[in-house]
Amino acid sequence: MGSVVEKSALIICGDYMEDFEVMVPFQVLQAFGVRVDCVSPTKLPGQKCFTAIHVSLGFEVGCYDALVIPGGRFTELFSVDDRVLSIVKAFAEAGKPIVTTCHSQLILAAAGLLKGKKCTAFASMKPVIELAGGIWWEQPGITSPFDITACLKDGNILSSIGWPAHAEILKTLFESMGARIHTTKANSVLFLCGDYVEDYEFNVPFRALQALGCKVDAVTPSKKKGETCVTAIHDDEGAQAFSEKRGHNLVITANWSDVSVYDYDCLVVPGGRSPELLVMNDKAVTLVKEFAEKNRVIAGVGQGQWLLAAAGVLKGKRCACGDGMKVMVKIGGGELEESKGFVSDGKLVTAVGWPALPSFISHLSKLLGLSLSFE
């Protein structure tokens, strides 16, 4: 998307990595034209570690512009794996950005890269960082995980406490890779959600748009600003239907009573279970209609098309959807594009589900007048 120079990033992964800390950079970097590979010392091409498909360790560091190491328990195992440490050291010697979150700073300590470096991490990592010769830094004023916003950069080392800081992590990583964000105007985006909204379909575009400088709010009819919604993670594990597991909580950032279509340029309806509840709320359906009447950008992912159809937004529009939403799209007057993961039709952008998020985010950004180029 607007890249002058091609960029690439490598993500070190393993079993029990923090799911969100790999999925957000994995999909958002791709959305803006960055080639992303995932690697694990014990996995072969085509094998999986929960959410990412991996490649073998046969590669050249020179092929990549950045290294991302998500947090999670796998870092304890990999901190004593010489193959992993050699990769990390090679990126450090080349002066390329290395992103660490939560617990993955342990690998930096094992590689001897923290001496004299300012670094932040999950609080339990403080003695590790200090014993490794690093300088501990902690974001002030944190009373809950949702207060975490900071990404600390010292040279080529980027560190953060964890996934709530993804917007700043992505912004800092883009800048470290030579990116420039281009925008025609300030944008504000509203996410309409509820309990058991699909985790990736909410959080990945939410953080991506924040990283690009958009004002982004999350709202639901039955909860106030500061309250949380439960999310769900869906995956194909061989059954007739996708499995459903509890995901991360998300924080509601605006009161329903304060929401006005005039304050936002775009409405995003993620999938999951929440659209089934929202279609039974007349105010939620009316809000979607108001965005359409004001010719705002509207985006839906997965089951989000359920709510868009109920509001009459899909009539005469080309639309992407999975098997579960085909009937709803058809009776809602939409035109199915079955061979595509995402479809953009005028000011409507739709995606089948979270695997199509890179293309979905890329085209949604274009509709909002946003682009990112590497120089």
Domain ranges of the chain: 8-177, 184-374
CATH class of 8-177: alpha beta
**What pLDDT digit, counting tens, does each position of 127-170 carry?**
999 999 999 999 998 887 778 888 999 999 999 998 889 999 99
| Sequence-distant (≥ 6) Cβ neighbours of residue 314 within 8 angstroms | 305, 308, 329, 332, 333, 334, 348
What distance in Å separates the CA atoms of residue 364 and residue 344, rounded to the nearest whole number?
A: 8
* Domain at 184-374: CATH code: 3.40.50.880
Higher pLDDT, 334 or 41: 334
Q: Tell me, what's the pLDDT at 52?
A: 35
**What pLDDT digit, counting tens, does each position of 267-306 carry?**
999 999 999 999 999 999 999 999 999 999 999 999 999 9
**What pLDDT digit, counting tens, does each position of 165-215 carry?**
999 999 999 999 999 999 988 899 999 999 999 999 999 999 999 999 999
Place of tokens 């998020």: 357
**What pLDDT digit, counting tens, does each position of 36-72 carry?**
999 888 777 777 765 433 334 456 788 899 999 999 8
pTM reported for the whole predicted model = 0.90
CB-CB contact of 99 with 158 (8 Å): yes
> 8-177 and 184-374 share one CATH topology?
yes
| pLDDT band with cut points at 50, 70 and 90 for residue 316 | very high
What distance in Å separates the CA atoms of residue 159 and residue 162, rounded to the nearest whole number?
A: 9
The average confidence (pLDDT) of the chain is 91
66-92 mean pLDDT: 94
Integer-rounded Cα Rg, in Å, for the chain is 21
Q: Tell me, what's the pLDDT at 245?
A: 82
